[in-house]
Amino acid sequence: MRIKGVFGLVLILTELIFTELLLEENPMHSYQVYQSESYVVVEKKEKPEELLYKEYIRFSDSITNVCLCTKEGRMAKNEGEAYLHVDLGEIGDWWGDPFGNLERDAEVE
């Protein structure tokens, strides 16, 4: 009986820990990315003055999507792996650097 109780308690604690980790808010959700005229803007939702990255895009009419993501195109989990990706449709892709990652990663440049 004791083993079942201890095993049940371990299962409950494990579930709580994993649920907490899985539901932990992604810090990248605190950023807003949008197009404003010929610029792509990255700003903090709560405090836009804290981080405001603004980049002129020459082919702004061709922008089909903008996002913060990894260089593989997956959702970024933190600023250290996040790049600004601008999809220019038929023209191609453009990468921005709001968090200084391009300086450390010549492959994306």
Where do runs of H (alpha helix) occur along 1-109? Answer: 2-23
Residue 109 and residue 96: Cα distance in Å, rounded?
9
State residue 23's pLDDT score.
43
Q: Are 52 and 59 in contact (CB under 8 A)?
A: no
Q: Digits of tens for pLDDT over the chain (109 positions)?
A: 566 666 666 666 666 555 544 444 567 788 999 999 999 999 988 887 888 899 999 988 899 999 999 989 888 888 999 999 999 999 999 999 898 887 766 555 4
State residue 22's pLDDT score.
47
Residue 8 and residue 38: Cα distance in Å, rounded?
58
**H or E element at residue 7:** helix 2-23
State residue 39's pLDDT score.
93
Phi, psi of 93 (to 5 degrees): -110, 155
